[in-house]
Amino acid sequence: MNIVYLAPLEKAWERMKKALFQPFDMRKWLVLGFTAFLAGLMDWQGGRSGKSEHSLDGRDWRDILELPAEAWGWLTGHPLWAALIFTGVIVVIVLSVVLTWLSSRGKFMFLDNVFRNRAAVQEPWREYRSAGDSLFIARLLLGAAAFAVFSIYLLGCLLVLIGMAGSNASGDGILPTVLLMAAGLLLLILAAAFVEICLNDFVVPVMAKRRMTILPAAGVFWDLFRRNPGAFLLYGLLVFLLKVAVVTLVVAVGLMTCCVGFLLLAVPYVNSVILLPVSYVFRAFSLEFLGQFGPGFDLFGGRQKAVRKPAAKRTAVLKKPSRGKASRKKQ
């Protein structure tokens, strides 16, 4: 099987131009932007990293290790603030769960609008209710699993550093360990990002195509991935590079507009409408790429209709006289 990458991307670009600009329809943009906004809620967008202003020499890095104990002591000494912080954490968790539920349904809504080239809200919302709920539960479980893995890893790193602090290790001695821990954390982040790409770009389309819940669809994709791991890893790398290019372009445009563009992009729904062509291309690209693996994965060309004879021909066949009647008329 010859898997290509540029041809699906070109097809996705052409589909975006046809859907959004031929002709340009503001109502369609607003509706599609709304479904793209719902689909993008709670998506992992990466984080920013900065250089620490603390040195690893002397006691600075040991002071950093003492921060958790100091924070806990401050909380126990200020019960009112501790209660407010605890309440805020609960509110954030509940809000995150609600947004995850909305975005799970929104992913199918935006997907449906892309492969059917339409702008609908109510119909796909109802049509993919069970699939969206199934995806919602899976995303909650995956999120909890990812939180547990990252927490255990960071706790292990903290315990190792505390042990090194007790052994009076120098800053030069701690630096290789910190770099190794940072590399491990980066690998975990990349793995989590790749799992999210596979879920959004491939498992969700399989669920929509075959009307499956999350577990059977994940099994179908896993079987496909086992037979073509390199193709999907290269796809993930290409998507990552494309998103880096998009972010670079957005930053450049924002700077050229004297940061006015940044203010517009800070508004969530407006952000989705402005960047709708980008979201549309990425969504269509994943479908075009997946469609290379056979008709069972092709959402664009997979809907077939039963072939029927034209009505005129069927009428002609019914009105055709029998041989006996024809011979009696001749006589």
28 within a domain of the structure (yes/no):
yes
User: Is 0.85 surpassed by the pTM of this model?
Assistant: no
Query: Is the alpha carbon torsion for 194, 195, 197, 203 positive or negative?
Result: positive
**Averaged over 229-244, what is the pLDDT?**
95
Q: Assess whether pLDDT exceeds 80 at residue 132.
A: yes
DSSP states along 67-102? HHHHHHHHHHH-HHHHHHHHHHHHHHHHHHHHHHHH
Q: Which two tokens stand for residue 171?
A: 């800053």
CB 43 within 8 A of CB 272: no
Q: Is residue 56 part of a domain?
A: yes
Tell me what the mean pLDDT of segment 241-265 comes to.
Answer: 88
Is residue 31 within 8 Å of residue 122, measured between CB atoms? Answer: no
What pLDDT is stored for residue 312 in this prediction? 42
The Cα 71–Cα 75 span in angstroms is 6
* Rounded alpha-carbon distances, angstroms, from residue 91 to 98, 169, 208: 11, 41, 32
235: left (phi over 0), alpha (psi -120 to 50) or beta: alpha
Do 167 and 62 touch, CB atoms closer than 8 A?
no
- pLDDT bin (cut points 50, 70, 90) of residue 82 is confident
pLDDT at 326 over 50: no
- 52 CB-contact burial (10 Å; exposed 0-12 / middle 13-18 / buried 19+): exposed
> Which residues have CB under 8 Å from 240's CB, separation 6+?
193
| CA distance linking residue 62 with residue 171, whole number of Å | 9
The answer to whether position 288 is within a domain reads: yes
pLDDT at 228: 94
The whole-angstrom separation of Cα 8 and Cα 11 is 5
Domain extent at residue 55:
6-330
173 part of a folded domain = yes
Which tops the pLDDT comparison, 305 or 6? 6
- Tell me the average pLDDT across 28-47: 80
Compute the average pLDDT of residues 185-212. Answer: 95
In a domain, residue 95? The reply is yes
Whole-number mean pLDDT of the chain?
Answer: 83
Of the listed ranges 83-92, 167-176, 270-279, the one predicted with least confidence: 167-176
DSSP designation for 295:
G
Q: Is the pLDDT of residue 36 over 70?
A: yes
| pLDDT at position 314 | 41
Q: How many domains does the chain have?
A: 1
In a domain, residue 1? The reply is no
**Quick one: average pLDDT of 277-294?**
95
Angle (nearest 5°) at CA 46 between 42 and 48:
130
Three-state DSSP class for 24?
strand
